[in-house]
Amino acid sequence: MTQDAFSKYHPAINILFFVGAIGSCVMIQHPAYLLAGVLTSGMYYLLLHGRSGWKMIGALVPLFLFLAAINPLFNTRGETVLFWILGRPYTLEALLYGVSVASVFVVMMLWLGCYNKVLTGDKFTCLFGNLIPSLSLLLVMVFRLVPNLIRKTRQISGARKAIGKGAGSGASLKNKLTAGMTVLGVLTSWALEGSVVTGDSMRARGYGTARRSSFTIYRMTAADWGMLCILLILLGTVIGFAIGGSMTATFVPKRSIAPIGGTNLLGFAAYCGYLLIPSALHIKETIRWNISKYRI
Protein backbone atom coordinates (compact mmCIF):
# COMPACT_ATOMS: atom_id res chain seq x y z
CA MET A 1 0.00 0.00 0.00
CA THR A 2 1.55 3.29 -1.09
CA GLN A 3 -1.12 5.84 -0.15
CA ASP A 4 -2.97 6.76 2.98
CA ALA A 5 -6.67 5.90 2.86
CA PHE A 6 -7.83 9.30 4.09
CA SER A 7 -5.63 11.00 1.47
CA LYS A 8 -7.72 9.37 -1.26
CA TYR A 9 -10.76 11.44 -0.34
CA HIS A 10 -11.56 14.73 -2.04
CA PRO A 11 -9.31 17.65 -0.99
CA ALA A 12 -12.33 19.46 0.44
CA ILE A 13 -12.83 16.56 2.86
CA ASN A 14 -9.16 16.65 3.85
CA ILE A 15 -9.06 20.38 4.52
CA LEU A 16 -12.38 20.30 6.40
CA PHE A 17 -11.00 17.70 8.77
CA PHE A 18 -7.77 19.57 9.46
CA VAL A 19 -9.56 22.89 9.94
CA GLY A 20 -11.83 21.23 12.50
CA ALA A 21 -9.01 19.32 14.21
CA ILE A 22 -6.61 22.26 14.48
CA GLY A 23 -9.32 24.79 15.30
CA SER A 24 -10.79 22.63 18.06
CA CYS A 25 -7.42 21.97 19.69
CA VAL A 26 -6.84 25.74 19.90
CA MET A 27 -10.29 26.55 21.29
CA ILE A 28 -10.73 23.61 23.70
CA GLN A 29 -8.27 23.43 26.61
CA HIS A 30 -10.04 20.73 28.61
CA PRO A 31 -7.41 18.19 29.80
CA ALA A 32 -9.35 15.16 28.53
CA TYR A 33 -9.82 16.71 25.09
CA LEU A 34 -6.17 17.76 24.92
CA LEU A 35 -5.08 14.24 25.81
CA ALA A 36 -7.35 12.86 23.09
CA GLY A 37 -5.85 15.35 20.64
CA VAL A 38 -2.28 14.39 21.53
CA LEU A 39 -2.95 10.65 21.22
CA THR A 40 -4.93 10.81 17.97
CA SER A 41 -2.62 13.29 16.24
CA GLY A 42 0.43 11.32 17.34
CA MET A 43 -1.10 8.08 16.10
CA TYR A 44 -1.95 9.48 12.68
CA TYR A 45 1.44 11.18 12.40
CA LEU A 46 3.21 7.86 13.02
CA LEU A 47 0.95 6.06 10.56
CA LEU A 48 1.84 8.60 7.88
CA HIS A 49 5.57 8.94 8.57
CA GLY A 50 6.49 5.52 9.91
CA ARG A 51 9.63 5.18 11.99
CA SER A 52 10.88 8.61 10.98
CA GLY A 53 7.90 10.11 12.81
CA TRP A 54 9.42 9.12 16.15
CA LYS A 55 12.14 11.73 15.58
CA MET A 56 9.56 14.49 15.44
CA ILE A 57 7.74 13.18 18.50
CA GLY A 58 11.03 12.80 20.34
CA ALA A 59 11.87 16.42 19.56
CA LEU A 60 8.47 17.60 20.80
CA VAL A 61 8.78 15.91 24.20
CA PRO A 62 11.54 18.16 25.63
CA LEU A 63 9.84 21.18 24.05
CA PHE A 64 6.59 20.20 25.76
CA LEU A 65 8.34 19.86 29.12
CA PHE A 66 10.11 23.18 28.67
CA LEU A 67 6.93 25.10 27.79
CA ALA A 68 5.01 23.50 30.65
CA ALA A 69 7.72 24.14 33.24
CA ILE A 70 8.54 27.72 32.24
CA ASN A 71 4.99 29.09 32.43
CA PRO A 72 4.82 29.24 36.27
CA LEU A 73 8.01 31.30 36.25
CA PHE A 74 6.14 34.14 34.53
CA ASN A 75 2.58 33.43 35.66
CA THR A 76 2.47 33.25 39.45
CA ARG A 77 -1.32 33.17 39.75
CA GLY A 78 -2.75 30.22 41.62
CA GLU A 79 -3.78 29.20 45.11
CA THR A 80 -1.64 26.04 45.47
CA VAL A 81 2.02 26.97 45.93
CA LEU A 82 4.36 24.07 45.21
CA PHE A 83 7.57 25.90 46.11
CA TRP A 84 9.25 29.30 45.87
CA ILE A 85 11.91 30.23 43.33
CA LEU A 86 13.73 33.57 43.39
CA GLY A 87 11.11 34.88 45.76
CA ARG A 88 8.23 34.06 43.41
CA PRO A 89 5.61 31.32 43.99
CA TYR A 90 5.60 28.32 41.67
CA THR A 91 1.92 27.33 41.67
CA LEU A 92 0.19 24.14 40.62
CA GLU A 93 -2.48 26.04 38.71
CA ALA A 94 0.10 27.87 36.60
CA LEU A 95 1.88 24.58 35.94
CA LEU A 96 -1.35 22.96 34.77
CA TYR A 97 -2.03 25.94 32.53
CA GLY A 98 1.48 25.56 31.12
CA VAL A 99 0.79 21.89 30.42
CA SER A 100 -2.41 22.92 28.63
CA VAL A 101 -0.64 25.50 26.46
CA ALA A 102 2.21 23.09 25.69
CA SER A 103 -0.31 20.38 24.74
CA VAL A 104 -2.03 22.77 22.33
CA PHE A 105 1.32 23.52 20.71
CA VAL A 106 2.22 19.82 20.38
CA VAL A 107 -1.16 18.92 18.90
CA MET A 108 -0.92 21.78 16.39
CA MET A 109 2.56 20.70 15.29
CA LEU A 110 1.47 17.08 14.83
CA TRP A 111 -1.70 17.93 12.91
CA LEU A 112 0.23 20.37 10.71
CA GLY A 113 2.74 17.61 10.00
CA CYS A 114 -0.14 15.36 8.94
CA TYR A 115 -1.63 18.22 6.90
CA ASN A 116 1.60 18.65 4.91
CA LYS A 117 1.60 14.94 4.15
CA VAL A 118 -2.07 14.64 3.15
CA LEU A 119 -2.94 17.96 1.52
CA THR A 120 -0.32 18.17 -1.22
CA GLY A 121 0.27 21.15 -3.48
CA ASP A 122 -1.92 19.85 -6.28
CA LYS A 123 -4.83 19.39 -3.87
CA PHE A 124 -4.45 22.92 -2.51
CA THR A 125 -4.30 24.31 -6.03
CA CYS A 126 -7.39 22.30 -6.94
CA LEU A 127 -9.33 23.89 -4.09
CA PHE A 128 -8.23 27.50 -4.43
CA GLY A 129 -6.59 27.76 -7.85
CA ASN A 130 -9.63 29.29 -9.54
CA LEU A 131 -10.61 31.52 -6.62
CA ILE A 132 -7.21 32.97 -5.72
CA PRO A 133 -4.72 31.76 -8.34
CA SER A 134 -1.83 34.03 -7.36
CA LEU A 135 -2.26 33.51 -3.63
CA SER A 136 -2.72 29.76 -3.98
CA LEU A 137 0.47 29.50 -6.01
CA LEU A 138 2.31 31.61 -3.44
CA LEU A 139 1.07 29.47 -0.56
CA VAL A 140 2.05 26.26 -2.35
CA MET A 141 5.55 27.63 -2.89
CA VAL A 142 5.80 28.70 0.76
CA PHE A 143 4.60 25.32 2.05
CA ARG A 144 7.19 23.47 -0.01
CA LEU A 145 9.98 25.93 0.79
CA VAL A 146 10.92 24.60 4.24
CA PRO A 147 11.07 20.90 3.26
CA ASN A 148 13.07 21.79 0.16
CA LEU A 149 15.51 23.91 2.17
CA ILE A 150 16.00 21.14 4.73
CA ARG A 151 16.59 18.55 2.00
CA LYS A 152 18.99 20.84 0.14
CA THR A 153 20.89 21.62 3.34
CA ARG A 154 21.49 17.92 3.90
CA GLN A 155 22.69 17.52 0.32
CA ILE A 156 25.10 20.46 0.58
CA SER A 157 26.45 19.30 3.94
CA GLY A 158 26.89 15.76 2.66
CA ALA A 159 28.72 16.95 -0.45
CA ARG A 160 31.08 19.13 1.61
CA LYS A 161 31.84 16.26 3.99
CA ALA A 162 32.56 13.99 1.02
CA ILE A 163 35.33 16.31 -0.19
CA GLY A 164 36.70 16.90 3.30
CA LYS A 165 35.41 20.45 3.83
CA GLY A 166 32.67 19.72 6.35
CA ALA A 167 33.03 20.28 10.08
CA GLY A 168 33.46 16.96 11.87
CA SER A 169 32.26 16.02 15.33
CA GLY A 170 35.59 17.06 16.88
CA ALA A 171 35.79 20.43 15.13
CA SER A 172 36.04 23.64 17.09
CA LEU A 173 33.14 26.03 17.47
CA LYS A 174 34.78 28.47 15.06
CA ASN A 175 35.11 25.81 12.35
CA LYS A 176 31.50 24.71 12.86
CA LEU A 177 30.25 28.29 12.56
CA THR A 178 32.36 28.85 9.44
CA ALA A 179 31.06 25.66 7.83
CA GLY A 180 27.49 26.58 8.77
CA MET A 181 27.78 30.06 7.27
CA THR A 182 29.23 28.57 4.08
CA VAL A 183 26.31 26.16 3.79
CA LEU A 184 23.88 29.02 4.49
CA GLY A 185 25.46 31.12 1.74
CA VAL A 186 25.24 28.30 -0.80
CA LEU A 187 21.66 27.60 0.28
CA THR A 188 20.66 31.25 -0.12
CA SER A 189 22.20 31.41 -3.59
CA TRP A 190 20.38 28.23 -4.59
CA ALA A 191 17.04 29.55 -3.29
CA LEU A 192 17.39 32.90 -5.09
CA GLU A 193 18.45 31.26 -8.33
CA GLY A 194 15.57 28.80 -8.07
CA SER A 195 13.05 31.61 -7.62
CA VAL A 196 14.36 33.38 -10.72
CA VAL A 197 14.20 30.18 -12.76
CA THR A 198 10.66 29.50 -11.52
CA GLY A 199 9.54 33.01 -12.42
CA ASP A 200 11.07 32.80 -15.91
CA SER A 201 9.50 29.40 -16.48
CA MET A 202 6.05 30.62 -15.46
CA ARG A 203 6.37 33.73 -17.62
CA ALA A 204 7.38 31.57 -20.60
CA ARG A 205 4.25 29.50 -20.09
CA GLY A 206 2.07 32.60 -20.11
CA TYR A 207 1.06 32.54 -16.46
CA GLY A 208 -1.03 35.57 -15.57
CA THR A 209 -1.42 36.86 -19.13
CA ALA A 210 -5.07 35.82 -19.44
CA ARG A 211 -7.80 33.97 -17.64
CA ARG A 212 -6.60 30.41 -17.43
CA SER A 213 -8.56 27.21 -17.78
CA SER A 214 -8.23 24.47 -15.20
CA PHE A 215 -8.38 20.73 -15.04
CA THR A 216 -8.77 18.64 -11.93
CA ILE A 217 -8.81 14.91 -11.37
CA TYR A 218 -10.72 15.29 -8.10
CA ARG A 219 -14.47 14.73 -8.19
CA MET A 220 -16.88 14.33 -5.29
CA THR A 221 -18.00 10.71 -5.17
CA ALA A 222 -20.63 8.98 -3.04
CA ALA A 223 -17.94 8.04 -0.54
CA ASP A 224 -16.84 11.66 -0.33
CA TRP A 225 -20.38 12.87 0.30
CA GLY A 226 -20.85 10.20 2.95
CA MET A 227 -17.63 11.18 4.70
CA LEU A 228 -18.64 14.85 4.47
CA CYS A 229 -21.90 14.09 6.28
CA ILE A 230 -20.08 12.15 9.01
CA LEU A 231 -17.55 14.94 9.56
CA LEU A 232 -20.24 17.63 9.69
CA ILE A 233 -22.40 15.64 12.11
CA LEU A 234 -19.50 14.94 14.48
CA LEU A 235 -18.12 18.46 14.23
CA GLY A 236 -21.56 19.96 14.73
CA THR A 237 -22.02 17.81 17.84
CA VAL A 238 -18.68 18.98 19.23
CA ILE A 239 -19.51 22.64 18.55
CA GLY A 240 -22.92 22.24 20.17
CA PHE A 241 -21.48 20.79 23.37
CA ALA A 242 -18.72 23.39 23.38
CA ILE A 243 -21.30 26.20 23.19
CA GLY A 244 -23.20 24.48 26.01
CA GLY A 245 -20.15 24.79 28.28
CA SER A 246 -19.39 21.10 28.68
CA MET A 247 -15.78 21.55 27.50
CA THR A 248 -14.76 24.54 29.60
CA ALA A 249 -11.61 24.45 31.68
CA THR A 250 -9.88 27.21 33.62
CA PHE A 251 -6.70 26.81 35.64
CA VAL A 252 -5.84 30.21 37.09
CA PRO A 253 -6.41 31.53 39.62
CA LYS A 254 -8.61 28.54 40.54
CA ARG A 255 -9.12 25.24 38.81
CA SER A 256 -12.53 24.71 37.25
CA ILE A 257 -12.86 21.80 34.83
CA ALA A 258 -16.18 20.60 33.40
CA PRO A 259 -16.88 16.93 34.14
CA ILE A 260 -16.85 14.37 31.34
CA GLY A 261 -19.57 12.07 32.71
CA GLY A 262 -23.28 12.18 32.00
CA THR A 263 -24.50 13.81 28.82
CA ASN A 264 -21.10 15.48 28.38
CA LEU A 265 -19.70 12.07 27.51
CA LEU A 266 -21.51 12.25 24.16
CA GLY A 267 -19.58 15.38 23.19
CA PHE A 268 -16.29 13.77 24.19
CA ALA A 269 -17.14 10.64 22.19
CA ALA A 270 -17.99 12.77 19.14
CA TYR A 271 -14.69 14.62 19.48
CA CYS A 272 -12.68 11.40 19.74
CA GLY A 273 -14.60 9.87 16.83
CA TYR A 274 -13.89 12.92 14.68
CA LEU A 275 -10.15 12.84 15.36
CA LEU A 276 -9.90 9.06 14.93
CA ILE A 277 -11.38 8.99 11.42
CA PRO A 278 -8.09 9.25 9.46
CA SER A 279 -6.29 6.72 11.67
CA ALA A 280 -9.22 4.30 11.55
CA LEU A 281 -9.37 4.49 7.76
CA HIS A 282 -5.60 3.99 7.52
CA ILE A 283 -5.64 0.94 9.81
CA LYS A 284 -8.66 -0.52 8.01
CA GLU A 285 -6.97 -0.11 4.63
CA THR A 286 -3.74 -1.64 5.96
CA ILE A 287 -5.60 -4.70 7.26
CA ARG A 288 -7.42 -5.14 3.95
CA TRP A 289 -4.13 -4.76 2.06
CA ASN A 290 -2.38 -7.40 4.17
CA ILE A 291 -5.32 -9.79 3.80
CA SER A 292 -5.24 -9.32 0.02
CA LYS A 293 -1.49 -10.06 -0.09
CA TYR A 294 -1.99 -13.12 2.08
CA ARG A 295 -4.62 -14.50 -0.31
CA ILE A 296 -2.38 -14.15 -3.36
Helix (H), strand (E), coil (C) string for 278-295: HHHHHHHHHHHHHHHHHH
User: What average pLDDT does the segment 34-56 reach?
Assistant: 90
Average pLDDT of the chain to the nearest whole number: 82
At 84, give phi and psi (nearest 5°).
-115, 140
Query: Do 38 and 173 lie in a common domain?
Result: no
Rounded to whole angstroms, the Cα distance separating 83 from 71 reads 14
Do both 166 and 184 map to the same domain? Answer: yes
Would you say residue 1 has pLDDT above 60? no
Among 19-33, 80-94, 183-197, the range of highest mean pLDDT = 19-33
Range of the domain at 151: 131-204
Residues 67 and 162 in one domain: no
Specify the number of domains making up the chain. Answer: 2
The model's pLDDT over 237-283, given as tens digits with 9 standing for 90+, comes to 999 988 888 888 888 778 888 888 788 889 899 999 999 999 999 88
Helices (H), the chain: 11-27, 31-49, 53-74, 92-118, 121-128, 133-162, 173-204, 222-243, 264-295
Q: Is the pLDDT of residue 126 over 80?
A: no
CA 135 distance to own-chain centroid:
21
Mean pLDDT value of segment 24-39: 89
Count Cβ atoms within 10 A of the Cβ of residue 186 and give its class: 0-12 exposed, 13-18 middle, 19 or more buried.
middle
Same domain for 289 and 167: no
Residue closest to 92 by CA, chosen among 256, 254, 259, 260: 254
141 shares its domain with 58: no
Prediction pTM value: 0.72
Q: How far apart are CA 17 and CA 28, in angstroms?
A: 16
pLDDT greater at residue 30 or residue 128: 30
Each residue's pLDDT tens digit, 206-244: 766 666 665 567 788 898 899 999 999 999 999 998 888
Same domain flag for 85 and 226 = yes
- Angle, nearest 10°, between helix axes 133-162 and 173-204? 140
Asked if 121 and 179 sit in the same domain, the reply is: no
- Phi/psi at 190 (5° precision): -65, -40
Rg value, the chain, Cα: 24
Q: Which of 165, 182, 204 is the last residue in one of the domains?
A: 204
Task: Answer yes or no: is pLDDT of 71 > 90.
Answer: no
